[in-house]
Amino acid sequence: MADLKADDDNQHRLIVVSQQAPPHELEEQQNNNDIPLNTKRVASLDIFRGLTVSLMILVDDAGGEWPMIGHAPWNGCNLADFVMPFFLFIVGMAIALALKRIPNWLIATRKVILRTLKLLFWGLLLQGGYSHAPDKLTYGVDMKKIRWCGILQRIALAYLVVALIEILTKDAQAKDLSRVRFSIFRLYCWHWLVGACVLIVYLAVIYGIYVPDWHFTVHNMDSADYGKILTVTCGVRGKLDPPCNAVGYIDREVLGINHMYEHPAWKRSKACTKNSPYEGPFLNDAPSWCWAPFEPEGILSSISAILSTIIGVHYGHVLIHMKSHSSRLIHWIVMGLALLVLGITLHFTNAIPLNKQLYTFSYVCVTSGAAALVFSAFYTLVDIWNLKYLFLPLEWIGMNAMLVYVMAAEGIFAAFINGWYYGDPHNTLIYWIQKHIFIGVWHSRRVGILLYVVFAEILFWGAVAGILHRLRVYWKL
């Protein structure tokens, strides 16, 4: 279980070497108890994490009314599609910063494995089907239909792989950078070698594996085909369309179709509904796969997601080894722009489309490049120009990200509030606030829901996280 406890200044997980203390001096200080460890928390990384959690709340709770910020039905990249890669990028940076403080590889490995198991536990509990929050006041899951994959499960996999690389290659790394160009890449060549292997395996499988015809049972009671077994015709290789891609095929074979996500974003595609990109009734001639499940955090796509964390850990290495703000920013921004250009070029030349569901290489490049530029902007504003006070709610959320994710993004707190109703289970405090304070005042459901999410969810939890920070209480895995 995660620990909910007070933190102290010497237990901050995310640290950055001060400008006066190079990394090799830091390690000497760690070996000498008489010399104080001069470290500080990376405020810009906390703020970036807080922004990402806030974006998740925004797109989850307002995306239904504003589909342009929700997940793209298939190819493309909307605001919601940046959330997962941003999380993985941040996890990578945190790995580099946190594991530098643990010289014993056995202790570090034990911590990594324990944290991975905690992430898997919470992922299964929150997204496996056990929790029905916030819409239903029930809980429990049919093990025949439990969803094995999810957001935290994907983060757990990427975290485990990259953290173990960081631990196992630590002795092979030099203590400091040489003046040779690209020495930061040479210093951590094993990370990039693993990244290259991940990419090669992913591309070989997604373009090389044969996808046969497949069938499924319709479980949606709104369908005229409810209970029927429908067949999807494929018999192809290397296709990246919704019904016949290798990502879905592997998940159906390994996980089982009953253990996959029942409401994939493709149900909002033009092939399925005339209301696209909104949700709506299916077309009379909609293809059979519109009713099928698909796992957006599946096996092959999660393997590709490791690349986002490897890029993130590289940015953490730059933060540790490069001594000046200017050298860090130049490296970060140039690499971020290069990734953006590469990803956009691959997409618009039709070489590899941007696709979050498949976690394509172009998607890795664009989202990692965007993460790099966003973090660089926060680093400039917060850690160089000392404008942290402008982003305090985001920083507080970022310092208690797990708590806010569980309570707000996964709807646990809303479910608790919904448990207190008047007359009818739908007549709750949340419903009353939405209807009379936000929707009623603006005479628009779209605007009202958006403002409700911003003020009654994001800023509310920013204030709660601020109070907890004042009390020095953090939920840490």
**In which band, very low, low, confident or very high, does the pLDDT at 223 lie, cut at 50, 70 and 90?**
confident
Q: What is the rounded average pLDDT of the residues 68-82?
A: 94
Write out the two tokens for 107: 């202790």
Judge whether 166 and 95 are in contact, CB under 8 Å: yes
> What one-letter code names the amino acid at 64?
G
pLDDT value at 176 more than 80: no
Question: What does 323-347 look like in DSSP terms, one character per residue?
Answer: -SHHHHHHHHHHHHHHHHHHHHHHH
Q: What is the pLDDT of residue 225?
A: 77
Judge whether 130 and 410 are in contact, CB under 8 Å: no
* pTM given for the model: 0.89
Q: What pLDDT digit, counting tens, does each position of 294-320 carry?
A: 999 999 999 999 999 999 999 999 999
> What one-letter code names the amino acid at 55?
L
Q: What is the pLDDT of residue 175?
A: 59
Dist CA 352 CA 245 (whole Å):
13
Q: What is the pLDDT of residue 117?
A: 97
Q: What is the pLDDT of residue 427?
A: 84
> For 101, how many CA atoms within 13 A lie in the half-sphere containing its CB?
18
Q: What is the pLDDT of residue 37?
A: 34
Dist CA 102 CA 107 (whole Å):
7
Report the 10 Å Cβ neighbour count for 1. Answer: 7
Longest pairwise C-alpha distance within the chain = 76
Contacts by 360-365, CB closer than 8 A, 24 or more apart: 360/240, 360/304, 361/199, 361/202, 361/203, 361/304, 361/307, 363/77, 363/81, 363/85, 364/85, 364/304, 364/305, 364/307, 364/308, 364/311, 365/339, 365/340
pLDDT value at 260 more than 70: yes
Write out the two tokens for 150: 């999810």
Q: What is the pLDDT of residue 219?
A: 84
Q: Of 133-137, 288-292, 370-374, 412-416, which has the strongest mean pLDDT?
A: 370-374
Residue 302: its H or E element:
helix 299-321
Q: What is the rounded average pLDDT of the residues 434-441?
A: 89
**In which band, very low, low, confident or very high, does the pLDDT at 33 lie, cut at 50, 70 and 90?**
very low
Write out the two tokens for 270: 């033009």
Angstrom distances, CA of residue 346 to CA of 67, 100, 337, 366: 25, 36, 14, 10
Q: What pLDDT digit, counting tens, does each position of 89-111 carry?
A: 999 999 999 998 888 889 999 99
What is the Cα Rg of the chain in Å? 23
| Four-residue CA torsion sign, 316, 321, 323, 324 | negative
Interacting residues of 257 by C-beta distance below 8 A, sequence separation 6+: 214, 216, 292, 293
Dist CA 40 CA 233 (whole Å):
57
Write out the two tokens for 48: 């970036």
